[in-house]
Amino acid sequence: MSSLENVPPVVPQTKYSIFRGPNGIRTGWRLAAFLLMTGGTLWLGFFLTGPFLRRFGTGDATGLILSELVLFAGVLIPTVIMSGLERRPFGVYGLPPGSAFGKNFWKGALWGFVNLTLVMLCMIVVGVYSPGGLDLSTPQIIKYGLVWAVGFLLVGFAEEFLFRGYVLYTLTLGIGFWPAAIALSILFAAAHGRNPGETWMGLLGIVVIAIFLCVTVQRTGSLWFAVGIHMAYDWGESFFYSVPDSGTYINGHLLHARLGGSKWLSGGSVGPEGSIFAFIADITMLLLFVYLYREKRYPSLAESPRLTAERTELQA
C-alpha cells in the first residue's frame, strides 16, 4: 500500500470576507439592502397617496386601510426581491401562501380576543371600565364591524411583516433568535412611542406582546398566528369594546363605553394595553404559549441559501 493512500485529501478552505460569510452575503449587508429598498418604496408609496391620505382624520377606516396597504406593499416588494436574490422561497420570511388564513391564523385570532376579553372583565370588576349601551344601529354594526376587521387585518399584515418578517428571519441567521427578537421588540415599542397618549407602562406592555409575537413565529414557523392575534386584539379593543387603541379612538365603534379611575388599572389615555391587567395577561399568555408550543420551527444559524434550496427541492 502506498504511503500516499494514507494522506487525507486536501479540503479547500472557503474564503470569507467582509461581504460574504458562511450564509452567503453577510447579515448586515442584506439588511442594509432590504431597508434601503423598503425606505424607497415607502417614500414613493406615501408620496403618491399623500394627497388622498390627508383627507382622512385619525380614526377613519378608509385612511387606515389605504395607509396600511401602502405600508404592507412597501415591505412586500423588497421581500420578494430579496427572496429572489437569496434564492430562498418567499414563505420562509413568514407568510407562506399555502398557510394563508389557515388554522394558525384563527387560533391566533382566538388567543388575541380571549386575552383582551379577560383584561376587560378584570377592568369591569374593579370598576374602571363601563361598556355602556350600543352606539350603532344594526346595519351600522355590520358595516363598521366588517370595515374595521379589514382595516385591522391590514394592520396585522403590515406591522408583523415589517418587524417580524424578513428582518427577524435575517437577524436570526446572523445573531440568533433571542437577541433579534428582543432588539426588534424594543424597536417595535419605540415606533409606538409617538402614538397620542402613550405611556411608559403602555410601551413596556408593547415590548412584552412583541416578544410574545416573535415567539409565535419561532414556535409555529410563520407569521399567521401573530397576524391573527394582532387583528383580533386591535379589532376587539377599538371596535368591540370601544376603548382607545394606543391612545386612538376610531370612528364607528360598537359601544358607548367609558374608562375611568386609576390609570394603573384602566390604562388611562393609552387604553387597556397600558393597564397592569394587560401586562399580567400578556406575560401569562406568553408562558402558556411556550408551554403548549414546545417545538421550535424557526431556521437555525446553520441554514444557508444552498441548504434551503436543497430542502425545498426534496419537499417539492
- Across the range 85-106, mean pLDDT stands at 92
pLDDT of 314 reads 34
Q: Is pLDDT of 100 > 80?
A: yes
| Helix-then-strand count for the chain, H and E | 11, 4
Q: What grid cell was written down for 205?
A: 406592555
pLDDT tens-digit profile of 126-184? 999 999 889 899 999 999 999 999 999 999 999 999 999 999 999 998 888 999 999 99
302 has a pLDDT exceeding 60 = no
pLDDT digits (tens, 9 = 90+) for 36-79: 999 999 999 999 998 888 888 778 888 999 999 999 999 999 99
DSSP SS3 for 223:
coil
Distance CA 129, CA 131 (A): 6
d(CA 248, CA 271): 8
Degrees to nearest 5, angle at CA 276 with 273 and 281: 75
Give the C-alpha separation, 25 to 20, whole Å. 4
Q: What is the pLDDT of residue 174?
A: 84
What's the whole-number average pLDDT of the chain? Answer: 86
Burial class (CB in 10 A: 0-12, 13-18, 19+), 268: buried
What is d(CA 145, CA 240) in angstroms, rounded to the nearest whole number?
A: 8
Contacts of 165 (CB under 8 A, 6+ apart): 75, 79, 93, 94, 95, 223
- Residue 86 burial by CB count (10 A; 0-12/13-18/19+): exposed, middle or buried? buried
Question: 48: which 3 cell numbers?
Answer: 403618491
Q: What is the pTM of this model?
A: 0.85
The predicted pLDDT at position 313 comes to 39
Q: What is the pLDDT of residue 235?
A: 96
The whole-number pLDDT of residue 24 equals 64
Quote the pLDDT of residue 140.
Answer: 94
